[in-house]
Amino acid sequence: MDFSWLKRSMPRGLYGRAALILIVPVVVLVVVVSMVFIQRHFEDVTQQLTTGLVLEMREVIEQIEEEPDLAAGLVAVDPLIQTLGLEAGPADTLLQGDRRVFYDVSGRIVIDTLRRGLTDVIAVDLLSSSRSVRLQVGTRLGPIDVKIERKRASASNPHQFLVLMASIGFLMTGIAFLYLRNQLRPITRLADAAEAFGKGQVMRYKPSGALEVRAAGRAFLDMRGRIERQIEQRTMMLSGVSHDMRTPLTRMKLSLSMMEPGPEVEELERDVADMEGLIDAFLDFARSDQLGDPEPVVPAEIAQTVVDKAVRGGGDVVMEVGEAARELAVLRVQAVERALANLVGNALRYGNRAEVHVRRTTKAVIFTVEDDGPGIPPEDREKAMQPFVRLDEARNQDRGSGVGLGLSIAGDIARRHGGMLRLETGERLGGLRAELVLAQ
């Protein structure tokens, strides 16, 4: 049996699931107790009370039928009626069928019991008054109209027990939820701190709550510290290596400038230039962890800055901006510019033209860069976003050089914004379509 619909209908939040865990048992308890109470109190007790009325009505009818006419019978039976607390008289207008309110559960039992116990019941009216039972029954001398207090046929105010039980149940559920919320708050704080760290933010967090939650919080702080130290060490290593390599490269450039021009010198100069490009790429990769602080900015302005630089460099780039992308969003400006510049640079390196689209949803800002190049096969896209990976067969290497860090840097920046970098096949230009998704 497929229960996937039940999983989809469950609350996704911790507070919602906790409330469901508290409310469902209370509701089930109230419903079950109510059903048992109705079965025992409404049906059994009502049936016993109404059976007593049936016996009394039989005695009244027998005494009336012993007289010569209905009027004499009613006079003769008057002392008994007064003793029993009934009101009786001739039925001048006959009722058409039994009447009761649809939610009157005990009324159904009253009507059934009266009809089973008396042989000639014309109608039972429980609708005219909630405080009395009006019964029309036939006798040998003619029909009579009898009024009986409702409390003699069924229990009075039985709903008070149900209301009291439901009220206390929900009151205790509310109190329990308040205490449970205090226990859940440390878990949500831990989740918020972990989510913020995933977006590159360091939120102040102190473990609190139950022992298990405190243990998880301390483990998170230890993990965050190790990751921060690892990132710092990687940044220092790459920066140091790149900085140290610039000194011999500078000496090589100086030596080449003093040599006689020739083919070999030109080839060496190109190699030195390529090595300088590699060092710059390494430094960009190292600085990708230093994203700066988030600040309010218009996403369209970031894209416009990158596109203007590409156009000034001779690139064929056009931009399309959604209306929502002209509103403020909280982003790391330099990091987003770097990621978008890498995507536009890759598009122009391996294609002839590029298109940049900026749009915004309720949860993310999306920068899309599409080119008319050869693209990347679907099976190689995940590999292409790894550092220092170059797909020689997938992209045109005659259009420029690189070390395979452009997509990796863009993906790293997207992840530190709580988003992702998606690579797809472009629908408009047919090349690679890169979507930089930044969570808000």
Q: HEC profile for 286-298? A: HHCCCCCCCEEEC
Query: Mean pLDDT in the chain?
Result: 84
Higher pLDDT, 355 or 400: 355
Q: Which residues contact 61 (CB under 8 A, 6 or more apart)?
A: 118, 137, 139, 144
Measured from the Cβ of residue 406, the count of other Cβ atoms closer than 10 Å reads: 24
For residue range 407-421, list pLDDT tens digits in order.
888 888 888 787 889
Instruction: Locate the domains of the chain by residue range.
Output: 4-156, 288-439
**Six token digits for residue 40:** 């025992």
Residue 434: pLDDT band with limits 50, 70, 90: very high
**Superfamily designation of domain 288-439:** Histidine kinase-like ATPase, C-terminal domain (3.30.565.10)
Q: Which residues contact 101 (CB under 8 A, 6 or more apart)?
A: 107, 126, 127
State yes or no: pLDDT of 259 exceeds 70: yes
Q: Which residues contact 119 (CB under 8 A, 6 or more apart)?
A: none
H helix and E strand count, the chain: 13, 11
pTM assigned to the model: 0.53
For residue range 186-227, list pLDDT tens digits in order.
988 998 888 888 766 778 889 988 888 899 999 999 998 898
CA 417/CA 101 separation, integer angstroms: 62
State yes or no: pLDDT of 118 exceeds 80: yes
CA 219/CA 198 separation, integer angstroms: 16
Residue 101: pLDDT band with limits 50, 70, 90: confident
State yes or no: pLDDT of 396 exceeds 50: no
**Six token digits for residue 405:** 């860090």
Average pLDDT over residues 287-297: 70
Which pLDDT belongs to residue 158?
58
Cα–Cα distance list, 60 to 65, 66, 273, 428 (Å): 9, 10, 120, 95
- Rounded to 5, what percent of the chain is helix, strand, coil? 60, 15, 25
H or E segment to which residue 331 belongs: strand 329-331
CA 395/CA 217 separation, integer angstroms: 45
Average pLDDT over residues 235-254: 77
Q: Is 236 exposed, middle or buried (0-12, 13-18, 19+ CB in 10 A)?
A: exposed
Which pLDDT belongs to residue 147?
94
Cα–Cα distance list, 114 to 46, 123, 282 (Å): 11, 10, 95
Which pLDDT belongs to residue 291?
58
Higher pLDDT, 62 or 261: 62
Average pLDDT over residues 343-372: 91
